[in-house]
Structure 1
Amino acid sequence: MVSYQKRGNVWQYEISYKDVDGKYKKLRKSGFIKKSEAVMAASLLQSTHPNLYTVRSGDETLVSYFDRWINVYKKGKVSEITYNKYQNTSQHASELFGNLKLKEITKLIYQKKLNEFGKTHARRTVSCLHKQLRACILDAIDERIIVSDPTRKAVIVGIDPPKKLKSLNYNQWKKLVSNLNTNRSAEMIIYIACVTGMRYGEIVGLTVNDFNYSRSTLHINKTWDYKYKTGFKKTKTKSSNREIIIDKSSANKLRQYIRKSNLTSDDLLFMDSKKHVMVSAEINKVLTGKLKDLKIPRITFHGLRHTHASILLYKGVSTLSVSRRLGHSSVSTTQSTYLHIIKELEYQDQDKIISILNIDND
């Protein structure tokens, strides 16, 4: 594998290879005025250096090459979360391609593996896998390890997510909210989702300082990385930084929860004594159990966000206000996400318009 780097005013090439003992080594040389000169020199060395034969021949497996590729090009150069995604791709590639060598992977084999992966994964996940593998394989072509691109014109397949959002109706929402024990951490998380429509990462990223009791507001200016446990992160978008107003009853419940939990100003509201913040799978398990007990149809935790938005829209709150409350980057995001609800409301508005204009019935 070859990488090129500009050091000052000159270019350097670095070749990673496996020697006859199976150990990884590097060859590097600098002093080239142009990148093209470094490329030519690296190519010449690859064609003449005896220890590079195994790599050049394409006998290395795709998985082995991909692991070396992400170690050289991605480790320490992308965020930890992004690097974890590359490692996930490596795991999927290992399951799909096994010990297949780079030179053995044809377009037909590659597409067959994508199709296999797509049977159990969303189209978006398949696309991510393909994008990362393709970037790696294109570098293998640049290094002349293989001569053709098996990923070219690959068809992205996968399971399409259901179009209709799963949410509760107003009566189901009221029943759930009324039966939550807000002295319990998990049920308070669910309660806040019900009355604010906040994302899970935003809720578990709340500190005591983010709650203003006198104004009955929650200030969202960060999220908590509950998945990879890297601490606080930026909000999803700039518009996700916002202040959400809540009703007095909810404000009182939250103040009681804080007092009962003996939390101080900078404490996370939902970190337990063992410094653990519940992950999405844990909160979804609690929610599922609660809904089952109340004989309410099951929805996911994210469905509470959709429920909140849907209820507000049905109750006549403007799309702009709902958009700002949810922290969407634009009103068009809200409109496209809740198009089916907006269309239903439009039909109701048309009936109102006809009724207003029908002066003969006055």
Structure 2
Amino acid sequence: MSTITKRGNKYRATISLYGKGEYKRETKTFKTKEDANLWAMEMELQKGQGKNLAERSTLFPDFYENWVNTVKKDDVREATFINYQRTIKIVNDLFSNIQLKNLNDTVMQKKLDQYASTHSKKTTKELVLKIRASIKYAYARGLIATDFGSLIKPKGIEKEKRNVALAVSDFKKLRAYCLNNSNDEFNILVLLALETGARRGELLGLKKEDLYEYGVHIRRSISPTNDDTRLKTKHSRRDISINKDVFDLVSNLALDKEDYIFDWDGFHQATHLQTLLKKLNIPKTTFHGLRDTHASFLFSNDIKIDYISLRLGHNSITTTQNYYISLMVDKQKKHQQDADALNLLNDLSE
């Protein structure tokens, strides 16, 4: 039921709501009786469509925390769930007093822009993706009137990329050094990263039974933050072929191991990698940068993208194209390709 009450020069519309075992009332004041009636009719229509108007007064942070701990808990890997939990405090700080019914793309964009002013665009984008998913769920449950998530744009500070793909000359230098200094277990780990393009956690998750002639089975991933060994996606489960010389080194290393081939070493691989790169006078990069280097090398040598996608364990070729588009032309081939392109264009004027 809805009622319209005149209060001075304005009109107050009231609708009755029922949710979670109790009755509530929603009110809104308008300048004209016509506007009040239109709002009341719209609310009654939404009630008739099964919209959960009674819970629209819920604070967005309360809804988000409940969504993370119920909907997402069993829907994602443990490591991913931990990332979702970390965003609960961020959402609470940004939207502390905002109810679901008062949320829209303008309100949310303004709050997220505040966050973006002190965070990288990558970090902001990860937050926006999670919030978009929660908004989609809220809309499906009738808790908000529209699914405005797609209108929210991630902004942020553009930081220098850390996962830089090495030039071919540096790739060869690093690979040769690791091959010639295989007495150090860490060098074999770096060598295998360059050889396979596998993620660090996937390499640390290798066991004796994961070796085959000549290659490795990727069946698990080790995380420094939790005990979940599941792979990132179902497509991450794959077999990657490797050269015999690399296979022999990994196989010999595995002989003296009882379970995992590589020592996790307190997950200090990033620090060790920087030390090694500095020693060889190679530009800084990360373990994911070694993955990018592997992809870049294959791209630059005209290996088909569908094969590269399978080797990297991507969900689809589109993922490979979108993520590695900047790597499709190797730095040291670019100058020659620039010249070739200019020569072709020059021919048009002859």
Q: Does 1:232 align with 2:229?
A: yes
C-alpha distance after superposition, 1:305-340 (max 9, x if no partner): 222233344456555654554345555655552433
Residues 289 and 94 of structure 1, relative CA distance in 2, 3 Å threshold: farther
- Structure 1 pair 322–118 and aligned structure 2 pair: CA distance change class (3 A): same
Post-superposition CA distance 1:48-106 (Å, at most 9, x none) = xxxxxxx78x3x64323432344454445655345334312212112323x32427955
Corresponding position: 1:100 with 2:97: yes
How many Å apart are 1:302 and its aligned residue? 1.2
Of residues 111, 114, 123 in structure 2, which corresponds to 1:113? Answer: 111
Report the Cα offset of residue 208 of structure 1. 1.0
Instruction: Tell me how far apart the structure 1 counterparts of residues 278 and 237 of structure 2 sit (CA, whole Å).
Output: 32
SS at 2:111 equivalent:
helix
- 1:340-351 equivalences under 5 Å are 340-341=329-330, 344=334, 347=337
1:226 deviates by: 1.0
Show structure 2 runs of 5+ residues with no match: 1-17, 23-46, 345-350
Corresponding residue for 1:211?
Answer: 211
- Pair 102,141 (structure 1): closer, same or farther in 2 beyond 3 Å: farther
Equivalent of residue 260 in structure 2, options 254, 263, 268:
268
Change (3 A) 1:207 1:93: same
Q: Which residue is 2:192 aligned to?
A: 192
Alignment of 1:127-138 (within 5 A): 127-135=128-136, 138=139
Identical aligned pairs, as a percentage? 22
One-letter amino acid matched to 1:269: I
**How far apart are residue 141 of structure 1 and its match?**
5.9
Amino acid at match of 2:248: N
What secondary structure does 2:221 align onto?
A: strand
The 5 Å alignment of 1:65-104 reads 65-76=63-74, 79-97=77-95, 99-102=96-99
C-alpha distance in 2 between matches for 1:185 and 1:224:
19
1:174 aligned residue: 172
CA distance, structure 2, for counterparts of residue 96 and residue 199 of structure 1: 33
Q: Is the contact between residue 219 and residue 243 of structure 1 (CA under 8 Å) also seen in structure 2?
A: yes
From 9, 17, 20, the equivalent of 1:15 is 20
Deviations 1:254-289 (A, max 9, x none): 233223xx213xx111245xxx762xxx32222112
C-alpha distance in structure 2 between counterparts of 1:334 and 1:151, whole Å: 28
**Runs of 5+ in structure 1 lacking a partner?**
1-12, 18-35, 47-54, 355-362
What is the alpha-carbon distance in structure 2 between the residues aligned to residue 316 and residue 74 of structure 1? Answer: 40
Give the TM-score taking structure 1 as reference length: 0.62
Using the TM superposition, give the Cα deviation of residue 136 of structure 1 relative to its aligned residue in structure 2, in angstroms: 6.3
Residue correspondences, number? 290
RMSD: 4.3
Residue aligning to 2:9: none
Match of 1:289 in 2: 275
